[in-house]
Structure 1
Amino acid sequence: MADGKAKGGRTAQLQHTGLRHGWTTGACATAATTAAYTALLTGEFPDPVTITLPKGQTPAFALAREEKSAGRAMAAVVKDAGDDPDVTHGALVRATVRALPTGSGVVFRAGPGVGTVTRPGLPLAVGEPAINPVPRQMMREHVAAVAERHGGTGDVEIEISVDDGEEIARSTWNPRLGILGGLSILGTTGIVVPYSCSAWIDSIRRGVDVARAAGRRHVAGCTGSTSEKVAVAVHGLPEDALLDMGDFAGAVLKYIRRHPVDRLTIAGGFAKLSKLAAGHLDLHSSRSQVDKGFLAELARRGGADEALAESVAAANTGLDALQQCAARGIPLGDLVAATARDEALAVLRGAPVAVDVICIDRAGTIVGRAP
């Protein structure tokens, strides 16, 4: 169950640029629940309210709303997704806590704006509120801790709601997953990491949708800002035809296979596109490596003698291999581009999409093209 991005990012290594992390809907719901149950037992809302996340972090949340009446208390927190373009950023997450008879345990309800599961295959049973298992556990633990501190039984009904959640959910995959009526309450760590893989891939899909809706028949999937500039310079593409592919070549190709455009340009650094040429669809350094043996074989196909091929196989980096071949007149960049194009066409499986590939070096110089 996933809430989606509103738009894509602009850089492939955002976790190293100091972008601000945010808090999941599950963390917000836990904070609101903790404040509401505390008020139910003590008459006072803690503001800010501090919670403990699964990995030990202890963020504090300011309360945006608070209400109390006989047998119930409601607290609300505004979701802060940090620098992540999450469609739920700014949403008001409410928790209404009601006392239950001793022995009832903790019961979860979906309030307005929170979805209900209607199809099997999700981590919750059909008919359950779309509050994922980790947020449920967080809320149970915090209810128990508040009960211990203030003499409660811990037997409560927790109703989670999100203002305008049903409308926001239309921008997510929830309806397709059979989660109807609103958003999911999510989070496994409590922290929103800017431009996480699943959200980035969803942003790519939305980028294709936006380009198609704007009538763009030629789009470019680019690994970074430098390759994006090259694609614009070569093809004169407008901004809404640019897909921030990052490392997710497979996500671009698979989605365009199902939602074709007339032409796709793939533009990226030589090393990353050599991974695509070798059949990798995830180009991140932690999940695929430049295969110098593969580059040596390409060099042989391009006319390299055995001594050069062995030198390429032993090269320090992909750039080193490229430079060695360039010095001997072997067009390794073009060979990588052509082979990457073949791999892309294989993933497209006959979809009516023309593909061209542009390889660049770190300075943005084109070092290979196909066709």
Structure 2
Amino acid sequence: MSDKPMRKGITTGTCAAAAAKAAIMARLGQPVTVVEVLSPQGIALKVPIAECHASTDGGFGWVIKDAGDDPDITNGIKIGAKVMVTSQPAIVIKAGEGVGTVTKPGLAVPVGEPAINPGPRTMITKAVEDCLPPGKGAIVTIIVPNGEKLAAKTLNPILGIVGGLSIIGTTGIVEPMSEEAFKNSLVPQISVVHALGYDEIVFAPGKIGQDIAVNRYGLPAAAVVQTSNFIGHMLENAVKYGMRRVLLFGHLGKIVKVSAGIFHTHNRMADARLETLAAYMALSGAPQAAIKEILSSTTTEAAMPIITRYNMNEVYNLLAERASARAIRYVFGELVVGTVIVTLKGDILGLDQTAREIGGHLGWNVPIES
């Protein structure tokens, strides 16, 4: 078994931003083979340019997506940008061939907009602004040849994204997801927390949850680690490293799976989010009409307004209690577990009493009534 570190890649958002910047540079008579773009966190990323050339009113740029050692369906595809320079100092981003459009609510982008997430939009805008002449703006059209065909192999059709792929990425970097190596790369986080003297740890499935836990609620950064999809694996290792208590802190879409006893949360492994939500809604006395609406939703974000409309928000606390109970059962009672469920924006939807105790002991700033 090789100990060689797994190679990181770049997101579709990084590719789109780099292609847009290369297009502007070509328009200015400065064709490039490499550009530097900034991630939403301000990290400089160097991206090879496969091709760029000027046009009468702008330019074209192309990047070959490199997913590193991640088994990504988009690895090796071409992502391009057609940029038209305008006299209005604004950046307008459009979906071209192979880029999807959002048709259903509950996603990070409003209905009717190109399926280009906020992180990539920030990167594209910054990359173009950095090299535009003063007082000029641009219309940026992102293109993914064969994107519509590839999208059929993703969750986009279920999510209501039509016409192509989504341009995504919250950090601009693809972390390799090959199972065993990636799982093993996560475990040292627990070792570090233990070495710092903690016997309590906060598990967040992703970076967004990690940032919310630390920056909004004041949980100690040293005790908050990412689990990715491997919540069960990380719980087992929390036991091995002598942790006493775990606070699960994440978005409804991940935590609701744990409530159903699903501890590998990738959608290709198991996905009963809406079914689980509907079951606990029914247990809490929701009418059949509410259950039908939940099951007709595309995402848990889209289900939230339905839950509010039927005055069923207490179901989130029940789901948090259930997630904690399933996690405790998963490790045969060798951990105390509390759970917090949040929205993508970081608002707390539900939590259990154990979460209050762990969070309070770790010094969070959650009001008593939350």
Residues 36 and 97 of structure 1 are in contact (CA less than 8 Å); yes or no, is this contact kept in structure 2?
yes
Q: Deviations over 1:113-171 (max 9, x none)?
A: 10011112212221111111111111111222212xxx343410000011211111111
Matches within 5 A, 1:187-336: 187-195=169-177, 248-249=263-264, 254-255=270-271, 279-280=326-327, 291=334
Aligned mate of 1:111, from 87, 92, 96? 96
Match of 1:31 in 2: 18
Residues 143 and 154 of structure 1 are in contact (CA less than 8 Å); yes or no, is this contact kept in structure 2?
no
| Secondary structure at 1:279 match in 2 | helix
1:180 aligns with 2:195: no
Match of 1:96 in 2: 82
Structure 1: which amino acid aligns with 2:111? V
Tell me which of the two structures has the higher relative contact order, counting C-alpha pairs closer than 8 angstroms and 6 or more residues apart.
1
| Secondary structure at 1:18 match in 2 | coil
Match of 2:226 in 1: none
Structure 2: which amino acid aligns with 1:29? A
Describe the shift of the 1:290–1:142 C-alpha distance in structure 2 as closer, same or farther (beyond 3 A): farther
Describe the shift of the 1:165–1:250 C-alpha distance in structure 2 as closer, same or farther (beyond 3 A): closer
1:19 aligns with 2:19: no
Describe the shift of the 1:27–1:289 C-alpha distance in structure 2 as closer, same or farther (beyond 3 A): farther
Aligned mate of 2:111, from 91, 102, 126? 126
Q: Deviations over 1:195-236 (max 9, x none)?
A: 189xx99xxxxxxxxxxxxxxxxxxxx979xxxxxxxxxxxx
Residues 250 and 282 of structure 1 are in contact (CA less than 8 Å); yes or no, is this contact kept in structure 2?
no
Q: For the residues of structure 2 that align with 1:173 and 1:281, how far apart are their CA atoms?
A: 31
Residues 11 and 169 of structure 2 are in contact (CA less than 8 Å); yes or no, is this contact kept in structure 1?
yes
For these two proteins, the number of residue pairs brought into alignment is 212
| Secondary structure at 1:182 match in 2 | coil
Residues 249 and 281 of structure 1 are in contact (CA less than 8 Å); yes or no, is this contact kept in structure 2?
no
Pairwise CA RMSD = 3.9
| Secondary structure at 1:166 match in 2 | helix
Structure 2: which amino acid aligns with 1:101? S
Aligned mate of 1:145, from 110, 113, 130? 130
Q: For the residues of structure 1 that align with 2:333 and 2:30, how far apart are their CA atoms?
A: 59
The alpha-carbon deviation at position 102 of structure 1 amounts to 2.2
Describe the shift of the 1:132–1:292 C-alpha distance in structure 2 as closer, same or farther (beyond 3 A): closer
1:135 aligns with 2:120: yes
The alpha-carbon deviation at position 51 of structure 1 amounts to 1.4
Describe the shift of the 1:173–1:155 C-alpha distance in structure 2 as closer, same or farther (beyond 3 A): same
Match of 1:313 in 2: none
Instruction: Tell me the TM-score normalised to structure 1 length.
Output: 0.50
What is the percentage of aligned positions where both structures have the same residue?
39
Describe the shift of the 1:186–1:154 C-alpha distance in structure 2 as closer, same or farther (beyond 3 A): farther
Q: For the residues of structure 2 that align with 1:191 and 1:47, how far apart are their CA atoms?
A: 20
Instruction: Tell me the TM-score normalised to structure 2 length.
Output: 0.50
Q: For the residues of structure 1 that align with 2:161 and 2:336, how far apart are their CA atoms?
A: 48
The alpha-carbon deviation at position 87 of structure 1 amounts to 0.3
Q: For the residues of structure 2 that align with 1:112 and 1:139, how far apart are their CA atoms?
A: 17
Structure 1: which amino acid aligns with 2:71? P
Q: For the residues of structure 2 that align with 1:292 and 1:33, how far apart are their CA atoms?
A: 49
Based on CA coordinates, which of the two structures has the bigger radius of gyration? 1
Describe the shift of the 1:174–1:68 C-alpha distance in structure 2 as closer, same or farther (beyond 3 A): same
1:51 aligns with 2:98: no
Describe the shift of the 1:186–1:281 C-alpha distance in structure 2 as closer, same or farther (beyond 3 A): farther
Residues 26 and 53 of structure 2 are in contact (CA less than 8 Å); yes or no, is this contact kept in structure 1?
no
Match of 2:309 in 1: none
Residues 328 and 335 of structure 2 are in contact (CA less than 8 Å); yes or no, is this contact kept in structure 1?
no
